[in-house]
Amino acid sequence: MDANWLEGLEAAARHTLPEPVHRYIRQGAGASLTAAEAAASWDRIRFAPHVLRDVTEVDLGATLLGTEVSAPIGVAPTTFQRAAHPDGELAMARAVAESGALMVVSSNAGTTFADIGGTGVTWWLQAYLPTDRALAEPLLRRAVDAGARAVVLTVDTPVVGTKRDDGPTVWETTDPGWLRVNFDRGYAERPGAEKALDIGPGDIRWLASTTGLPVVVKGVLRPDDARRCVQAGASAVWVSNHGGRQLDRAVATSEVLESVVAAVGGDAEVYVDGGLRSGTDVLAAMALGADAAFLGRLPLWCLAAGEDLVVAMFDTLATQLREATRLAGLSRPSQAPGVLAPRLPFGL
């Protein structure tokens, strides 16, 4: 396989996925300004590598909320995995389990939590909360029963950011049975089932006590909000602009990560996503202080080409991360803040 094969996946998927599905995965909100700048923003991070250090042993392993994973790289929650692959989340879960990695499952999943848990994968549930919080309880219970080890509350989606579709959408052209199979029957028609517009710190406490699980808050882009999450009992803060799919012109995650890490001050774990496409990008994220990096589109493009490609993706990312860690003169990616070089001005 070509060493840069991960870079060609989006283009290759044009031949295998129907256009509405391909567009759904790649698109951003509005003019896609935030989506377009995500990957390039990681290119501006520079390292000042150590030399004269023994890098014989490199350990990529990480512990996230008490669970050991093979590398600090996880699969971010994405809706409609069954549009990318007939087995959807089940195929993703099998591949992630084989890689010893971690998967966050969208609450919109088209595969039952029990089936996902049955693969033995380490998984966390991603949740959106409805106006009537009690309506979420059955779904949360199913996730806990199926072995979810944390709940990720997505807080950047009070409404879904408008996308510019120039043809039929994925919602119009795919099987509705590929979505939301873990909700009670008739859920969407119940009063109070619409997405909550009033999510606040109290919901972090409520989720923790309802599920008994650690709560991760996903979609934070500001140090002051990160602090509010920690004060409300969040176990981790996830720096994300939802892959540029919510507020267009939202800042690139690489630009705010360091300030969030400083505000959290070690009181919670910090994760990041958005435009990460290589093991060197992951090392850059760790250099800015992240405990782990998550990938949304990249594993979806792999899944579209087959479950094996998801395993190959983790393998390639680990190889790249190991090489970059060694070349930086480190024995663990978590030491990367020590080799962060001064930032380049925007545009370079």
Ligand X SMILES: Cc1cc2nc3c(=O)[nH]c(=O)nc-3n(C[C@H](O)[C@H](O)[C@H](O)COP(=O)(O)O)c2cc1C
Closest distance between ligand X and the C-beta of residue 79, in Å? 4
How many CB atoms sit inside 10 A of residue 109's CB? Answer: 30
240 binds ligand X (CB under 6 A): yes
**Site for ligand X (CB under 6 A): how many residues?**
23
What residues pair up with 105 in beta bridges, in sequence order? 125
- Residue from 34, 108, 111, 210 touching ligand X (CB under 6 A): that is 108
Active site residue 242: yes
85 or 297: CB nearest ligand X: 297
For residues 41 and 44, give the distance between their C-alpha atoms in angstroms, rounded to a whole number.
6
Catalytically annotated residue among 15, 50, 85, 242: 242
Q: Is 77 in the site for ligand X (CB under 6 A)?
A: yes
DSSP string over 58-96: ----EEETTEEESSSEEEPP-S-HHHHSTTHHHHHHHHH
Report the C-alpha gap between 87 and 119 in whole angstroms.
Answer: 13
Q: 135: which 2 tokens?
A: 């309506």
Determine which residue in the list 297, 316, 329, 339 makes contact with ligand X, applying CB under 6 A.
297
Please give the residue whose beta carbon sits closest to ligand X in the complex. 296
From the list 254, 179, 189, 266, the residue with the least C-alpha distance to 226 is 266
Please answer whether residues 150 and 235 qualify as being in contact, where contact means their C-beta atoms are separated by less than 8 angstroms: yes
Q: Choose between 106 and 325: whose C-beta lies nearer to ligand X.
A: 106
Residue 111 beta carbon to ligand X: minimum distance, rounded to whole angstroms: 13
- Distance CA(23)–CA(44), nearest Å, equals 27
Does the footprint of ligand X cover residue 243 (CB under 6 A)?
yes
334 binds ligand X (CB under 6 A): no
Least gap, CB of 220 to ligand X (angstroms): 12
88 lies in the site for ligand X, by CB under 6 A: no
Residue 286, SS3 per DSSP: helix
Catalytic residue numbers read 242
* Site of interaction with ligand X (CB under 6 A): 24-25, 38, 76-79, 106, 108, 126, 154, 218, 240, 242-243, 245, 273-276, 295-297
